[in-house]
Chain A
Amino acid sequence: MAVQVTDSNFEAEVIKSELPTLIDFWAPWCGPCRAMGPVIDELAAEFAGKVNIVKMNVDENPATPSKYGIRAIPTLILFKGGEVVEQITGAVSKSSIKDMITQKALG
C-alpha cells in the first residue's frame, strides 16, 4: 500500500526524500481516482526501495495541491531532488506509469 502524506509532512516525505518520489493526488469522491488506487498500490510494492510512491488526499490537504496548480485529479507528479520532473493528469495504465518511472525516475 502506498503511504498517505499530508500538507504537514509533504516537505519531509517528498521534497527532502532521498529517493525519487511519485505522488498521487486523489479524493474519495473521484471515480477515476478510485480506479487508479489499486494500480498505485501495486506500483508502490513493485518499486519499493527504488522509488518512493505515496498518495495525498486533496480534500484533507488543500495547501500542497494549490501550490502545484492542480485543478484536476487524479494527477501524478514525480519529484526528484525536490523538483518536479513529470506530471500526468487523468487515469492512465499501469504500463505507462511504469515506463515513466523507468525513464524519468530511474533513468
Chain B
Amino acid sequence: MKLYDSIVIGGGPAGMTAALYLLRSGVSVAWCEKLSPGGQMLMTEEIENYPGFPKGLKGYELVDLFAAHLDGWSFDKYTDEVAEIIPGNGVHRVRVGDEWVEGKTLIICSGARYKRLGLPNEERLTGKGISYCALCDGNFFRGQEVGVVGGGNSALEESLYLSKLVKKLHLIHRRDDFRAMKCYQDKVCIKPDIEVVRSTVVTEIHGENALEGVTLRNLKTGEEHFLKLDGLFVFIGFEPVTGFFPDQLGVDAQGFIITDVEMATNVPGIFAAGDVRSKLCRQVTTAVGDGATAANSAFLYLEQLDA
C-alpha cells in the first residue's frame, strides 16, 4: 500500500489549492477526484466575484487556470470515488474505488451538491424534465414552460439564465421574501416572462416517462392546484458530500464537517476545507482560503509527527 504525507480528497477550488500549497512545501501528495477537476465551478456559467478577474470569466475558464497551476508538479492522481476512510494513529487509510492508499494527513474537500426536494417521482424523472443544472439542461427547454424552485442566490441567478431560453418561467418560493442578494431580486422582478409564486411549495411531481407538471400548495391559504410544466429546476440549497466520512468525524446538524479556524477536525491529522466545512459563506474565494489554510496546518502537523 502506498503511503503519502497527505491525501487531498476532492478536486474543486479548495482541493486544488490545498494540493498546490502542499506540493510547494515539498511533501508527497495523492489527489483523489472522481471526475476531472473543477467541482461546482464547472456548473457555473459566469464567475464575477473572483478577485483579479474584474470582467468576470466562465466557470470552466477559471477551472483551466487553476488546473494549469498544478502542471509540472509531481503527484499521484486517483480518478475515482473515495469510498471509505479508516482513521489510524499517525496513518489513515483511504479506499479510492477498489484501491487502498495511506496518508499521514488527509484534507477533505469533497464539497457540496444540490439538495433534492425529496418527493416521489423526483429521482425517476431526473433527466426527464427535472434538473439541478440550468447551464447543462436549459437548452432542452427552449421556448417551453418551466418551474424553478428556491429563493436563494442560485435560484434567482439560474432563473435569470433560463429566462433567456424559455417561453415562461414560474419561480416557486416557499416564503414571501427572498434570501438572494438584492441585485438578483431587482433583475428577476422586472422580467415579464418570470412569474414569481410566493409562499408556495411543490407537493407532488407528475409524469410517466417525462415530467408533465406539479401540484403546488399555497402555504397561506392551503389551496392546491396543478401546474403543467415541461421542466422543473430545483435550487433549494446544498448538502455536503459525506458518504465516506468515518463515524468519529465531528459534523454539524446538516452533516457539514466542524473544524477550528486552522481547518483541523476533531480527528488528529484530518483536516477539511471548502464547501464541505460547517460555515456560512460558500464561495470560490473562501474555498481557496480554506484550502491554503488546511495545507499549512497539515504541513505543521507533519513536522510535529516527524519530530
Contacts and interface: CB of A to CB of B under 8 A. Distances in A.
A76 to B, nearest CB: 10
Contacts of A36: 35-36
A72 B135 CA distance: 10
Given A38-B36, A71-B140, A93-B35, A32 B127 contact: no
Interface string B19-44: 00000000000000011101001111
Given A39-B79, A94-B80, A95-B98, A31 B140 contact: no
Given A31-B60, A93-B34, A94-B80, A70 B140 contact: yes
A105 interface: no
Given A34-B42, A35-B36, A71 B135 contact: no
Interface in B34-64: 34-36, 38, 41-44, 59-60
Nearest to B138: A29
A102 interface: no
Interface of A: 27, 29-39, 42, 58-59, 69-75, 87, 89-91, 93-96
B126 to A, nearest CB: 6
Which of A31, A42, A70, A93 has the most chain B CB atoms closer than 10 A to its own CB? Answer: A31
A38 to B, nearest CB: 5
Interface residues of B, number: 30
B38 A34 contact: yes
B32 to A, nearest CB: 11
A94 B79 contact: yes
Contact of B60 (A34, A72, A75): A34
Given A27-B139, A34-B60, A89-B126, 13 more contacts: A31-B43, A31-B135, A31-B136, A35-B38, A39-B34, A59-B139, A69-B210, A71-B127, A71-B129, A72-B126, A90-B126, A94-B34, A94-B80
6 contacts: A29-B139, A35-B38, A36-B35, A38-B79, A71-B210, A94-B79
Contact of B140 (A72, A87, A95, A96): A72
Contacts of A33: 136
What 10 A-B pairs have minimum CB-CB distances, sorted nearest first? A89-B127, A31-B42, A35-B35, A72-B127, A93-B81, A93-B34, A30-B136, A95-B97, A71-B140, A72-B137
A32 B128 contact: no
A72 B35 CA distance: 18
Contacts of B135: 29-31
Contacts of B219: none
B231 interface: yes
A28 to B, nearest CB: 9
A32 B126 contact: no
B231 A71 contact: yes
Interface in B118-132: 126-129, 131
A91 B37 CA distance: 12
B254 to A, nearest CB: 22
A31 B38 contact: yes
Contacts of A59: 139
A25 to B, nearest CB: 10
B304 interface: no
Nearest to A73: B136
Interface in B123-158: 126-129, 131, 133, 135-137, 139-141
Contacts of B127: 70-72, 75, 87, 89-90
